[in-house]
Structure 1
Amino acid sequence: MDDLTRVREWEADVPPLTDEARSAARVRLQSAISRENHATRSVAPSRRLVFRMAAAAAVAAVGGTVVVASTNRDGNAVPRTSLTAAQVLNKAADRSRSDSARLPIPRNDQYFYTRTYSTQTPLKGGRAKTWTDESWLSVDGSRPSRRQEHGKVHHDPPLGKHEVAWPPTTYAKLQTMPTDPDKLLNLFRVGRKRSPMTDTMAFDQACLLMMGPRVMPPGLQAGALEALAKIPGVKLDHDQVDGIGRPGIAVSYPNSTFTFVFDRKTYAYLGLRTKGIGLERVNGKWQNTDRYFEMRSLERMAVVDHIGQRPQG
């Protein structure tokens, strides 16, 4: 029996290779070829090597999961997860519940403090732009807020009629939102039946909810993540690094411009990666400029008593 026949027989009882499995196997194959060439000074890999790597690819397909390794900033190997995207979202939800338990319930006269680090990289290449932004958002919206975005400071008036419809920013309105994942998913789909379009809408709505400078009531962020775990087709992107350099694991959805990034080990929420189009004012008119990727990393979140106050520690 030749080697390729044996590989086909091994693959007969396993599901077809996923894109992630093929990519992982390809990386392992290229790495093994490089090691083999270095050892033998030969350009072509041996039949034994090809068989070994093809068999590894078949084994990687079992269960539809992949376990491979990447490297962190220090060059040390960081094992990839064998979890699915839905399982990562559920673990991130558990971590969110643990983190939210440490935050006090804010008073209406207090402020949500956030510090984010943003990096914007042009798709066509070029110098990346970075910003460290701090914001103080009135808990109930009755007081002026100070919001910083891409280095520009905005002095927002008390909300009242100025509050946007979605997503809400005041704690009282956030408290009226359900924490049950099924109810949240229906809310994110705007009550429409499930379809690829409404799934994309739901994913984007959840991203917008988590994107702004807001401290959410206990269980809301966790419920949102569990709602996303119920969307068919959510994808796992293993090799992500946020704007601060923290190794992460990301969850995305086809056709969405957003990608969630979580800590690779703890599954804590690190931030969002987005695709965007720049705007530039030319002769009094706004025009689109180059497209870019932007990573918004959440560095700190707390409740403080007044604008300008920063949390200790």
Structure 2
Amino acid sequence: MNEMNELNELMRELDLLREWDADTPPLTDQARARARFRLHQAMLSPTTLAPATVRRRPVLRMAMAGVAAAAVATSVVVAENNESSPRTQPVSATTVLHGAAIEERRTERPIAPRDDQFLYTKEIIKEIPAGGGGPTRTYVDESWNSVDGSKKSYVSELGRKQWVPVYGPGQGTWPPSKWTELKLLPTDPRKLAIVLRDMGGKPDYSKPMKAGDWPMTQYFLSGLLRRPVLPNGLRSAAYEALATVPGIEVVPNQKDADGRAGIGIRFVPIGSGTVRSHPRPPLLVFDAKTYRYLGMRDQRTAGGKTYEQWSYVAASAVVDRVMQRP
């Protein structure tokens, strides 16, 4: 019933649009994006459609544990504000990730780096001892990664800077880090999950994903999303592929490193019962209104101490040499 009311509301708005005064200022990009997303969700509603069958470095930072056996469709209630008045509606992990994909397509810009260039990133990491009792430390990590791996990269991790040697014969990472290899990854969410599952071999699209395939596949998808710069369409495809991964839950009332209100998405090992009995999985934090990705909340342990950690990418660009900034 809520979904039908939402659709009726949208139809009334379309009727008003037909009577719209041409002298009225145009909608903002944010308002237009929200309207498109609401229409998209209403179209996907089962009430309007017939049923269908259907650390830090290296690259992979988010460690997944356990074997996924079934999808967890956890919904929570969060406040969503529009221009007129606040309202409350249930939001699922699938809704947030599909919304993030829509927002990414709206805002992404074309990029085509040359093999001899570098991908510059500036990442802000804030951390505090778990449970308090210590000052907040802030790290500004700037890195220059060779586009094709043929040149030495210069990276920073929690303030520790180092040169990374060039790839040797047959060396690389998975998911791939070379731009030419990233461009070969499919932007179809289903195919992307299968290609990552098959780890660089010839993908078998006829072989369906099994429960035992998901733990490593979601690890690879998360590692792919950790890359600040990706070919057009790949990040949105990764968000949509993550929406199909079993063991996803929404964590409301989160904040990013700069205190902005957000919604958290995390992966819970199937069969864990409660996350309190397992290491807390990292959180991907998305804007509570637009679902734009804001950053990550995580933990790290060093010297017998545990630290709460928030991070986000403050800048990224293609540059011609190490130490060059945009």
TM-score bracket, normalised by the shorter chain, equals 0.5 to 0.7
Pairwise CA RMSD: 3.0
Task: Identify which of 152, 158, 164 aligns with 2:160.
Answer: 152
Structure-1 residue corresponding to 2:294: 270
Letter paired with 2:287: D
Unaligned runs of 5+ in 2: 1-73, 199-206, 270-279
**Do structure 1's residue 93 and structure 2's residue 101 form an aligned pair?**
yes
TM-score of the aligned structures, taking structure 2 as reference length:
0.63
Give 1 or 2: higher helix fraction.
Answer: 1
Counterpart CA distance in 1 for 2:90 and 2:103 is 18
Q: 1:34-81: per-residue Cα shift (whole Å, max 9, x none)? A: xxxxxxxxxxxxxxxxxxxxxxxxxxxxxx85544499xxxxx98766
Q: How far did residue 243 of structure 1 move?
A: 1.4
Q: Aligned ranges for residues 155-166 of structure 1 at < 5 Å?
A: 155-161=163-169, 163-166=171-174
Q: 1:140-186: per-residue Cα shift (whole Å, max 9, x none)? A: 11222111110111112222348443232110111122221112223
Letter paired with 1:222: S
Counterpart CA distance in 1 for 2:161 and 2:167 is 17
Q: Aligned ranges for residues 15-54 of structure 1 at < 5 Å?
A: none
Assess if the C-alpha contact under 8 Å between 1:117 and 1:244 holds in 2.
no
**Do structure 1's residue 215 and structure 2's residue 229 form an aligned pair?**
yes
Task: Identify which of 178, 183, 186 aligns with 2:186.
Answer: 178
**Do structure 1's residue 230 and structure 2's residue 238 form an aligned pair?**
no
Assess if the C-alpha contact under 8 Å between 2:76 and 2:92 holds in 1.
no
TM-score of the aligned structures, taking structure 1 as reference length:
0.65
Structure-2 residue corresponding to 1:19: none
Letter paired with 1:205: F
Q: How many residues were matched structurally?
A: 233
Structure-2 residue corresponding to 1:56: none
Cα pair distance change 1:135/1:84, threshold 3 Å: same
Q: How far did residue 88 of structure 1 move?
A: 0.9
Structure-2 residue corresponding to 1:4: none
* Identity score, percent: 36
Letter paired with 1:309: Q
Assess if the C-alpha contact under 8 Å between 1:244 and 1:297 holds in 2.
no
Q: How far did residue 86 of structure 1 move?
A: 0.3
**Do structure 1's residue 194 and structure 2's residue 194 form an aligned pair?**
no
Unaligned runs of 5+ in 1: 1-63, 72-76, 281-288
Letter paired with 1:204: Y
Q: 1:168-217: per-residue Cα shift (whole Å, max 9, x none)? A: 2110111122221112223444588432x5433333222222224x5211
Task: Identify which of 258, 262, 276 aligns with 1:248.
Answer: 262
Counterpart CA distance in 2 for 1:251 and 1:103 is 27
> Quick one: higher RCO (CA 8 Å, sep 6+), 1 or 2?
2
Counterpart CA distance in 2 for 1:182 and 1:94 is 17
Q: How far did residue 249 of structure 1 move?
A: 1.5
Q: How far did residue 135 of structure 1 move?
A: 1.0
Q: How far did residue 108 of structure 1 move?
A: 1.4
